[in-house]
Structure 1
């Protein structure tokens, strides 16, 4: 099955192995999730936050909730 969400914004933690993506769904809703990658294994990014099923009416609402629940995000965005 093809991945159909469109990433609108990706915010990386220093080191670029952890990120939060804000995305749009085909149904017009928005969401976010926290991902990690291990460069040495070559498997790509995988969800570590498991927030992807939460539904928001706007990308700003998704980002606000991400900043509330992802411990490192607020500090990273303040830099």
Structure 2
């Protein structure tokens, strides 16, 4: 988990792109809010996940709100969710 996602938060879904070099983590906070962050993994970083943006600073009221925002912000995510619709259920949108 990135330093941008508070240690008290719980990541409940992590979705990777087909190339396995980008991912989006969806998480819940202790205050009942939700969020997401996009990460990249590059060879020069030793294969570690590195945050790409500061999306995790925004709080959403529901997993659905976080997902809607992530789909608007992360270009490749819509394609992955179209190919693997079961991931929506894991996010809580079954």
Pairwise TM-score range, normalised by the shorter structure: 0.7 to 0.9
Matched, 1:64 2:65: no
SS of aligned partner of 1:52: helix
Q: Residue in 1 aligned with 2:14?
A: 10
Q: Residue in 2 aligned with 1:74?
A: 78
Q: Residue in 2 aligned with 1:38?
A: 42
What is the TM-score normalised by the length of structure 2? Answer: 0.74
Aligned length: 79
Aligned residues: CA RMSD: 1.9
1:24 pairs with 19, 28, 37, which one?
28
Structure 2: which 5+ runs fail to align? 84-94
Between Structure 1 and Structure 2, the one with more strand by share is: 1
Moved over 4 A (4+): none
Structure 1: which 5+ runs fail to align? none
SS of aligned partner of 2:57: coil
